[in-house]
């Protein structure tokens, strides 16, 4: 089998162009990611996913999506119901802990049904960021709550629901985006909070769930750890905090390199991300020129990174025998998801 490169790429539209097919075949991304622009009818999505895998000659190439519920949900009716956001699950949990936990698990189990039906095998969920008052709304209602215990507890249930359904969970955004006062899609946030407070609040949910197979970084500067660069490109944050204090030894994926928070051209972004200790470079917008830049400095997936990637794939398609109609009916007793 041809070795893969340490990157996950998007595509421009609802079908692959001949240029994209050639590019993926030559550059061999380890995985792919879908966005709303790629999503149409069920058969179209299945065909797109199949053609992505065919382009790299790997039937097990993972295909990722952001399917949280609330405002971050790429599959919408009629492909999937409009599901509640993390904050709504958190509200239920604060009223009735058992109900909130069960609803978090059920929602993720439903995501797994929805995604695997289309050939999508990884969901960028759970969101483990813990927002503070006044922070940017980029996380906002996506978070389960404003305390680490609620976030960790519901995040664990959400991850377990995906795993039960044979879908790879990707926790985000390590080591925590909840304190950022700006949107990293648009600019680079800097957090000046002392490290002791970060440990107790921001890092805690990730540490509690450090056994999960995959995580996505935060494009956030933590001045108390490394004032010179965001977590995504900081060897100090990744080595000392993500791998060290938090104790995460799973597959570490950068957040999207096409976000405005990262400076420099695309070749230098890719090189910096891998040099810092991320296992995979993520590029989402499907712009060919940018993808070519990423590919030009992305190396073969090998060594410890390859081990982590292969281990992550073992979580896919190991699913339970849950009945979809029964899961939907039970979830509806907590939330009336709009069809």
pLDDT in tens, 247-256: 999 999 999 9
Task: List the catalytic residues.
Answer: 185, 255
Q: Is the Cβ–Cβ distance between 156 and 209 less than 8 Å?
A: yes
Q: Residue 184's pLDDT band (boundaries 50, 70, 90)?
A: low
Peptide bond into 73 cis (omega under 30): no
The CA distance from 212 to 301, in Å, is: 20
Which two three-digit tokens encode residue 308? 């982590």
Mean pLDDT of the chain: 95
Residue 299: Cβ-neighbour burial (10 angstroms; 0-12, 13-18, 19+):
middle
The CA distance from 243 to 271, in Å, is: 19
Question: Residue 320's Cα: distance from chain center in Å?
Answer: 22
For 27-36, the pLDDT digits (tens) are: 999 999 999 9
Q: Residue 136's pLDDT band (boundaries 50, 70, 90)?
A: confident
User: Does the pLDDT value for residue 2 go beyond 80?
Assistant: no
The CA distance from 330 to 182, in Å, is: 38
User: Does the pLDDT value for residue 338 go beyond 60?
Assistant: no
Most confident region among 133-137, 189-193, 257-261 by mean pLDDT = 189-193
Instruction: Residue 43: count other Cβ atoms within 10 Å of its Cβ.
Output: 9
Token match 């944050």: residue?
A: 237
Q: What is the pTM of this model?
A: 0.96
Which two three-digit tokens encode residue 75? 């599959």
The CA distance from 71 to 149, in Å, is: 23
Question: Residue 278's Cα: distance from chain center in Å?
Answer: 14
Chain length of the chain? 339
The CA distance from 267 to 296, in Å, is: 6
Find the helix or strand (DSSP H, E) in which 182 lies: none
Q: Is the Cβ–Cβ distance between 112 and 162 less than 8 Å?
A: yes
Token match 């999207």: residue?
A: 256
Which two three-digit tokens encode residue 171? 């926790």
Dihedral sign from CA coordinates of 278, 182, 287, 124: positive
Q: Is the Cβ–Cβ distance between 157 and 105 less than 8 Å?
A: yes
Q: Residue 211's pLDDT band (boundaries 50, 70, 90)?
A: very high
With b for 16 or more beta-carbon neighbours within 10 A and e for fewer, the 45-78 pattern comes to: bebbbeebbebbebeebbbbbbbbbbebbbbeee
Provide the percentage of residues in the chain whose pLDDT is more than 70: 97
Tell me what pLDDT residue 339 has: 44
The CA distance from 233 to 245, in Å, is: 18
């Amino acid at each position: 089998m041809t070795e893969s490169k340490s990157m996950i790429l998007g595509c421009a539209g609802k079908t692959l162009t001949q240029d994209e097919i050639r590019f993926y075949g030559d550059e061999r991304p380890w995985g792919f990611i879908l966005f709303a622009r790629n999503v149409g009818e069920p058969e179209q999505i299945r065909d797109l996913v199949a053609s992505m895998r065919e382009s790299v000659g790997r039937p097990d190439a993972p295909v990722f999506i952001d399917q949280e519920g609330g405002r971050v949900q790429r599959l919408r009716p009629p492909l999937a119901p409009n599901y509640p956001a993390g904050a709504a699950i958190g509200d239920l949990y604060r009223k009735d802990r058992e109900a909130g936990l069960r609803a978090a698990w059920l929602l993720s189990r439903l995501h797994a049904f929805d995604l695997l039906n289309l050939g999508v095998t990884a969901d960028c969920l759970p969101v483990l960021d813990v927002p503070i008052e006044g922070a940017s709304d980029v996380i906002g209602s996506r978070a389960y709550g404003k305390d680490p215990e609620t976030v960790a507890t519901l995040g664990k249930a959400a991850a377990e629901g995906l795993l039960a359904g044979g879908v790879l969970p990707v926790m985000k955004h390590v080591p925590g985006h909840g304190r950022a006062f700006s949107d990293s899609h648009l600019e680079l946030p800097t957090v000046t909070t002392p490290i002791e407070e970060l440990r107790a609040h921001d890092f805690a949910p990730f540490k509690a769930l450090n056994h999960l197979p995959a995580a996505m970084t935060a494009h956030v500067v933590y001045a108390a750890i490394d004032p010179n660069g965001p977590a995504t490109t900081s060897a100090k944050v990744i080595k000392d905090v993500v791998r060290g204090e938090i104790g995460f030894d799973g597959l570490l994926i950068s957040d999207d390199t096409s976000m405005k928070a990262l400076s420099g051209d695309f070749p230098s972004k890719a090189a910096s991300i891998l040099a810092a200790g991320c296992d995979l470079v993520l590029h989402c917008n499907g712009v060919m020129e940018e993808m070519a830049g990423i590919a030009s400095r992305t190396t073969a997936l090998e060594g410890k990174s390859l081990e982590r990637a292969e281990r992550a794939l073992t979580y896919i398609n190991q699913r339970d025998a849950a009945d979809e109609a029964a899961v939907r009916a039970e979830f509806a007793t907590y939330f009336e998801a709009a069809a």
